[in-house]
Amino acid sequence: MNRSLVLLLVSLLLPPAPAAAEAPPISEATESCLMCHEYLHPGIVSGWRSSQHAQVTPAKAMAVEGLGRKVSSEEVPEELTQVVVGCAECHTLRPSEHADTFDHNGEQVHIVVSPKDCSVCHAVEAAQYSQNIMAHAHGNLENNAVYQDLQHHVLGTPTRVDGELSFAPPSADTKALGCLYCHGTRLHVAGVETRDTDLGEMEFPVIDGWPNHGVGRINLDGSLGSCSPCHARHAFSIETARKPYTCKQCHIGPDVPVYKVYSASKHGNVFHSKQHEWDFNAVPWEIGGDFTAPTCAVCHVSLLVDPDGELVAQRTHQMNNRITRRIFGLVYSHAHPKDPDTTKIRNKDGLPLPTAFDGTPAADFLIGPEEQAKRRTEMETICLNCHGTSWVRGHFARYDKSHETTNAATLEGTRLLQEIWSRGYAQGPEAGGSPFDEAIERRWADIWLLYANSIRFASAMAGGGDYAVFADGYYSHSKRLAELQEWLAEREATGEAPEK
Amino acid sequence: MNRSLVLLLVSLLLPPAPAAAEAPPISEATESCLMCHEYLHPGIVSGWRSSQHAQVTPAKAMAVEGLGRKVSSEEVPEELTQVVVGCAECHTLRPSEHADTFDHNGEQVHIVVSPKDCSVCHAVEAAQYSQNIMAHAHGNLENNAVYQDLQHHVLGTPTRVDGELSFAPPSADTKALGCLYCHGTRLHVAGVETRDTDLGEMEFPVIDGWPNHGVGRINLDGSLGSCSPCHARHAFSIETARKPYTCKQCHIGPDVPVYKVYSASKHGNVFHSKQHEWDFNAVPWEIGGDFTAPTCAVCHVSLLVDPDGELVAQRTHQMNNRITRRIFGLVYSHAHPKDPDTTKIRNKDGLPLPTAFDGTPAADFLIGPEEQAKRRTEMETICLNCHGTSWVRGHFARYDKSHETTNAATLEGTRLLQEIWSRGYAQGPEAGGSPFDEAIERRWADIWLLYANSIRFASAMAGGGDYAVFADGYYSHSKRLAELQEWLAEREATGEAPEK
Amino acid sequence: MNRSLVLLLVSLLLPPAPAAAEAPPISEATESCLMCHEYLHPGIVSGWRSSQHAQVTPAKAMAVEGLGRKVSSEEVPEELTQVVVGCAECHTLRPSEHADTFDHNGEQVHIVVSPKDCSVCHAVEAAQYSQNIMAHAHGNLENNAVYQDLQHHVLGTPTRVDGELSFAPPSADTKALGCLYCHGTRLHVAGVETRDTDLGEMEFPVIDGWPNHGVGRINLDGSLGSCSPCHARHAFSIETARKPYTCKQCHIGPDVPVYKVYSASKHGNVFHSKQHEWDFNAVPWEIGGDFTAPTCAVCHVSLLVDPDGELVAQRTHQMNNRITRRIFGLVYSHAHPKDPDTTKIRNKDGLPLPTAFDGTPAADFLIGPEEQAKRRTEMETICLNCHGTSWVRGHFARYDKSHETTNAATLEGTRLLQEIWSRGYAQGPEAGGSPFDEAIERRWADIWLLYANSIRFASAMAGGGDYAVFADGYYSHSKRLAELQEWLAEREATGEAPEK
């Protein structure tokens, strides 16, 4: 009989030890979890013990007044307020709503904690995040026929039959490793399995799509998203969430080279060389005092104050309140979508895309000039804490220009591809083909899926230079265009007809 | 009436408070700046407050004797010596020489502080930097017809007319985001604008090319360069300047993958894993005591001493005193130019390039063997502090070899392109074409603009392995050559004539 | 007469000063080395002074009991036990066995210290490392005809003769900068040279292949490998070895993008944001207490305990004991080789490769299902400290799937290339050609040498997303396949015959 079993049995026979005067109170249920899991998964428990959750009761957290308050819910169920937020407090919450709830030593435990669980204490953040386009990242990809076509030809397993290359649909595992790693999987309880444990045979749910910490994960209570990508694991460290390494997990490139550009920017330079002097845990976060250059969180998420404690920017988990345009993932950059569910969008050709093939925006579905101006002003308010007005205006003028030039160049590339299609050198949608399955089409995709974005991000974060030019920037953008041109000219010269 | 306005008015009515005995004396003019700007731009002011400039008067700095002295000017105007270096000390210096000087609450303020302003206290560094090829980076690019042709076809906006791809000249904003982000813009006062401020309507200069912190910026007093790329913003942190993240801003690749190679080298490994134990602020900087592996600054810039305090290397802001060859940006690597203004160079064909198309160096304009040997010896002196003689010799033998092999391979690529041109498959300069506008020409450019450099940097920093082979190194170098070969052979096989 | 000479002479005349009570005892021979070398190479000496070697005698180290013991040899020669491990202790060890041993001020000194020298105290680690495939990295590359063919066409200097591109064999310097930078050079004493030194003329061995710290270096005592790549220079810092920057030196990509994937994974995120709170020097290394997310060393090398001090994983320098498959460098991933010397492997076609061209494994030479299961279980034991069972199982199911899909796609690419060869559009091995010298063959090589690996590493380290898709992942993998398809179809369409 091993130690964890002994300890569990002992724990069942004895009442929990009275907490020391200063020790934060842990619920009986959580103590019972810890009895085994401290030995089974010490890394999880030590992470949790280092967290604020393990040290502060909701009652104490709710007693904080002003900007330092971290619990945003106005009310928290009484039974949760007097103990710290431990294993049981989250993993046994709302048991009837989680499809993975199972009986585990007498408790109704679910494996996957969802934003809706977190919202019990953090209601404002959960509500904001539901308006974040990231919360909808799964459906926005999986329920859009155009993206599905791209995903099919990128992730699918190729087979060559009769001289033609075709792609078998990607498996769930491949999708989970690929696009859904960031977009989030759809979790599903596939059944129950019995495992031999130190406590004998036990039953556990088998969850398809697990593990995953994609931002748009569809949870077993039907809620959207996951808090784990940023508030990692059981430490829920604000420090980690505020450092750019967190965003890097999904925003590394080349389709979305945010971290790379940031790291090469002046902001990144100051962060990397001075972060050891900063306070990444202060709430609210003081400009100049706690940090001297922005991380991703500063501009897009965090609650900021000036050295007098005056509010500069409210915390937001919607994250796009200061973002005017969507600059990656689509053929042309465009005003940000109004609704985080982008499957509703229809362009003038009826496709679920925010622009037409010729760049015309699906304006009804995108924020208008007034909202764009409001968002721009909100962002500038932050910039102005460290930059003068002429600096900020000059910066955004270049940013706007980068969209104009990249969209114009991409349009030329699209026209080249359309001519290639119209001459029959490749099979476009009008001829019943996919726009993503032939090599020349993939070179066209590079233009907007990789290079145009790199330029725009370099512009957005004042991290130009290499990322705007040689590192997947204008240098590659114009090269791919020249390649499309060469490809078409060569076929015209040889009078060659396409092979299929 | 908002608080900053109240405070400003109060400040105009009252004399400045007498400084506490120990508090560093701040000039009246700077106190007046701070009155508003501490609230308007708290990030700027807190950066400055953390700086040496805010804590030490020039008089005190000039009293330091020996290698620890940071003010290199022999004399500093008396009126600047007894107060710390604050807003007004820099932004109202030499007002008649700055085109952006404007009347601001009774002070003659200029927005852009230049190296010539900094030279009031740091004369030696400013003089050295003027000999740094980086100070001339704007003109070296903008006044060289060959580079302009490349820039035009990289940054220009493509349009396809009558089946031909042509490029409209890039806008000033695109250039500022692209090449000039690092090379530096030319600043120009375009006019004056009136802004509504907390103090009512005020006039400010409108500066074309702003913001920019490129190393070769042309300033509004006609001076060249900027100190900000390395001595960032208002903290002027030596620590930041000495860390490789600073150099990374412009030297990240793939055209100049210095930071990437350094990070993967043994030097980078030790830096990244041990930097938290180093002293990045000590002047002079002690080998072994303050740091245990070089950063970029150690080999190229900083004032170094051994553990006995004996001088190992003098500080230099010329930066190329220990560099024998120029290893990127040109078709072939070559001995370093004599003059930092490279527009004067003419190769044997009369082009403003340091080598001819066949690799022949424009020897009259490049440093000779004696100067190369002197620079090599200076660099080796630093290496030998941590490496034995045979290590150092072996290292540089490989370095020299890497130039030989990359130049030889590039020459084969150039010959292939010349054959392509001579057969009329593409339009080279002799046929009136640009060498940079067709796809096959851009593949040739990759050979020397990206891959040859990567190999040489890997060799220079003993960071070989992936960066010499698979990461844009020999693997890609030889692949592009094979592609040129295939392209030519294919056209010869089909008897195909070019499209234009 | 310079100072180091004076000091040396003084040191020869006087007995060494008696060590202070607490100062660790340094041998007379090492004191004599330090007399000059502290001035000649202060960086080396200060690194050593910071090391455990300079502070602890073997006798004291051997007195440690339990898991904290770092000296693994059961016996250490008596004369070494009472002094710290200084210059002379390593550089004069086993003099008759080192080809570079030379008379240096009366001592028999060798320049290159080998793992066999280190094994005097660290016998277990040296023995384990000899079973590490890395120890054999030189011969595995240099004695394999297929790899030599690849190396020849990657590193060789290209020349074009009669319209054909051929490659001169790469020089030793180029190989040392390229493949052998990581794989290790073969060291060889080429002769003796006389140098002018502060002490007059002295003779030193000239060592071909030096410097090098490749993992499979062939040393001058015939031993294999080097401890320096991970235990850098003279500080031998455990902290450095445990941080991922060390592994990055050779595992950066794109052929083996381990560091990149790790950095973008959740593990990397936690490491980068929290490492400042970790203890990288503790032995044994406590999960949860000393660190909260794995670095490379955690899963592959280090001695791990749980918070109760119970053993979780034994230290191993074989490093592949928990690795089931070899996932890079070969056309198909496959079960790990049984023997670290892979030159013995023969596939069904008689080639020294672990799989045939059609993917069939050379099963006799690879570990079987039982050993794979054992290794998987060992790895899972570590994972389970921070993850639940269903998490770990789901992770490895995806990992296995990634091998299946990448191998299948690669096989389609190989079939395409074989068809290209069989039609005579390129010259494959059956026609007497190299599989690595033509452009189309190099595009095929990208499929397995770069892109398939990236996908597998993304899967292995749960760092999917960009590295599985856009950053050299499925996006590029499927694009290259489409390019092979296009290339073949184009030649079929034009009826074009190959050029040679």
DSSP string, A402-437: HHHHHHHHHHHHHHHHHHHHHTTSS--GGGT--TTS
Identify which of A250, C463, A54, C241 has the alpha carbon closest to the alpha carbon of residue B269: C241
Q: Is the CA virtual torsion C351, C354, C358, C361 positive or negative?
A: positive
> Which residues, including other chains, have CB under 8 Å from residue B275's CB and lie 6 or more apart?
B243
Confidence category of residue B18, pLDDT binned at 50, 70, 90: very low
Query: Bigger pLDDT: A464 or A276?
Result: A276
Residue type, C402: S
Mean pLDDT for the stretch of residues B24-31: 97
Confidence category of residue A463, pLDDT binned at 50, 70, 90: confident
pLDDT at C332 over 50: yes
> Which residues, including other chains, have CB under 8 Å from residue C291's CB and lie 6 or more apart?
C278, C279, C280, C285, C298
CA distance A168 to A390: 54
C422 in contact with chain A, both atoms CB, cutoff 8 A: no
Q: Which of C288, C390, C494 sits opposite A42 (nearest CB)?
A: C288
Contacts 24+ apart (CB under 8 A), B170-174: B170/A405, B171/A401, B171/A405, B172/B208, B172/B209, B173/A397, B173/A398, B173/A401, B173/A402, B174/A401, B174/A402, B174/A405, B174/A474
pLDDT at C440 over 70: yes
CA distance A178 to A170: 10
pLDDT of residue C411: 98
Nearest CA in chain B to C245: B269
Q: What one-character-per-residue DSSP string does C350-413 give?
A: S-SSSB-TTS-B-GGGB--HHHHHHHHHHHHHHHTTTS-HHHHHHHHHHHHHHHHHHHHHHHHH
pLDDT at C1 over 90: no
pLDDT of residue C463: 87
Question: Is A288–B177 a contact, with Cβ atoms under 8 angstroms apart?
Answer: no
pLDDT of residue B16: 44
Residue C497 neighbours by CB distance under 10 Å: 12
Per the CB < 8 A criterion, the answer to whether C1 and C198 are in contact is: no
Per the CB < 8 A criterion, the answer to whether B154 and B175 are in contact is: no
CA distance C189 to B455: 27
> Which residues, including other chains, have CB under 8 Å from residue C212's CB and lie 6 or more apart?
C176, C180, C181, C184, C185, C187, C226
Beta strands in B302-393 (DSSP E): 304-305, 311-313, 325-326, 334-335
Mutation target among B245, B261, B263, B266 for the C interface, most CBs of C within 10 A: B266
B113 in contact with chain A, both atoms CB, cutoff 8 A: no
pLDDT of residue B17: 45
Direct distance between the N- and C-terminal alpha carbons of chain C, in angstroms, rounded to an integer? 69
CA distance C127 to C118: 11
> Which residues, including other chains, have CB under 8 Å from residue C104's CB and lie 6 or more apart?
C202
According to DSSP, residue A294 is labeled: -
Q: What percent of chain A has pLDDT over 90?
A: 92
CA distance C163 to B156: 35
Which residues in chain A have Cβ-Cβ distances shorter than 8 Å to B237? 273-274
Q: What percent of chain A has pLDDT over 70?
A: 95
pLDDT in tens, B323-340: 999 999 999 999 999 999
CA distance C82 to B61: 50
Which residues in chain A have Cβ-Cβ distances shorter than 8 Å to B439? 479, 482-483, 485-486
**CB proximity under 8 Å: A 371-400 to B:** 384-391, 394-395, 397-398
Confidence category of residue C497, pLDDT binned at 50, 70, 90: low
Domains of chain B in sequence order:
3-136+174-208 (no CATH), 237-494 (1.20.850.10)
Q: What percent of chain B has pLDDT over 90?
A: 92
Q: Which of C408, C464, C481 sits opposite A181 (nearest CB)?
A: C464
pLDDT at B195 over 90: yes
Mean pLDDT for the stretch of residues C218-227: 98
pLDDT of residue B493: 86
Question: Is C269–A255 a contact, with Cβ atoms under 8 angstroms apart?
Answer: no
pLDDT in tens, A333-384: 999 999 999 999 999 999 999 999 999 999 999 999 999 999 999 999 999 9
C322 in contact with chain B, both atoms CB, cutoff 8 A: no
Q: Which of B270, B459, B470 sits opposite C240 (nearest CB)?
A: B270
CA distance C238 to B278: 17
Which residues in chain B have Cβ-Cβ distances shorter than 8 Å to A264? 248-249, 252
C417 in contact with chain A, both atoms CB, cutoff 8 A: no
Question: Is C482–A438 a contact, with Cβ atoms under 8 angstroms apart?
Answer: yes
Structure tokens at C119: 């094994």
Per the CB < 8 A criterion, the answer to whether C441 and A146 are in contact is: no
CA distance B56 to B23: 10
Question: C331: burial class by Cβ within 10 Å (0-12, 13-18, 19+)?
Answer: buried
pLDDT of residue C493: 86
CA distance A463 to A456: 10
pTM of the model: 0.95
pLDDT at C7 over 60: no
Query: Bigger pLDDT: B455 or A493?
Result: B455
- Strand ranges of the sheet holding A285-286, from the earlier edge strand across to the other edge: A285-286, A304-305, A311-313
According to DSSP, residue C497 is labeled: P
Which residues in chain B have Cβ-Cβ distances shorter than 8 Å to C157? 405, 408-409
Identify which of C228, C234, C233 has the alpha carbon closest to the alpha carbon of residue C250: C228
What is the gyration radius of the CA atoms in chain B, in angstroms?
26
Neighbours of chain A (3+ CB pairs under 8 A): B, C
Q: Is the CA virtual torsion A178, A179, A183, A186 positive or negative?
A: negative
Confidence category of residue A17, pLDDT binned at 50, 70, 90: very low
For A278, half-sphere exposure in the C-beta direction (CA atoms, 13 angstrom radius) is: 26
Confidence category of residue A19, pLDDT binned at 50, 70, 90: very low
CA distance to partner chain C, nearest, from residue B327 (Å): 16
pLDDT in tens, B126-150: 999 999 999 999 999 999 999 999 9
Identify which of A477, A253, A157, A476 has the alpha carbon closest to the alpha carbon of residue C470: A253
Which residues in chain B have Cβ-Cβ distances shorter than 8 Å to C243? 272-273
Residue type, A233: R
Question: Is A497–C493 a contact, with Cβ atoms under 8 angstroms apart?
Answer: yes
Q: Which of B388, B397, B479 sits opposite C173 (nearest CB)?
A: B397
Per the CB < 8 A criterion, the answer to whether B4 and B39 are in contact is: yes
Question: Is B391–C210 a contact, with Cβ atoms under 8 angstroms apart?
Answer: yes
Q: Show the 3-state SS of B27-38.
A: CHHHHHHHHHHH
Confidence category of residue B2, pLDDT binned at 50, 70, 90: very low
Confidence category of residue A497, pLDDT binned at 50, 70, 90: low
CA distance to partner chain A, nearest, from residue C374 (Å): 18
Q: Are strands B164-168 and A188-197 parallel, antiparallel or unpaired?
A: unpaired
Which residues in chain C have Cβ-Cβ distances shorter than 8 Å to A207? 390, 394
pLDDT of residue C496: 60
Structure tokens at C436: 């690595």
Q: Which of C276, C386, C482 sits opposite A41 (nearest CB)?
A: C386
CA distance to partner chain B, nearest, from residue C197 (Å): 11
Question: Is B416–C178 a contact, with Cβ atoms under 8 angstroms apart?
Answer: no
A416 in contact with chain B, both atoms CB, cutoff 8 A: yes
Question: Is A494–B494 a contact, with Cβ atoms under 8 angstroms apart?
Answer: yes
CA distance A482 to A455: 18
A489 in contact with chain C, both atoms CB, cutoff 8 A: no
- Among B19-28, C29-38, C227-236, the range scoring the smallest mean pLDDT is B19-28
Which residues in chain A have Cβ-Cβ distances shorter than 8 Å to B181? 458, 464-465, 468
CA distance to partner chain A, nearest, from residue B308 (Å): 28
Q: Which of B289, B468, B479 sits opposite C439 (nearest CB)?
A: B479
**CB proximity under 8 Å: A 440-479 to C:** 440, 442, 449-450
Beta bridge partners of A335: A325
pLDDT in tens, A139-190: 999 999 999 999 999 999 999 999 999 999 999 999 999 999 999 999 999 9
**CB proximity under 8 Å: A 235-294 to B:** 263-266, 268-270, 272-274, 276, 287-289, 292
Mutation target among A259, A261, A266, A422 for the B interface, most CBs of B within 10 A: A266
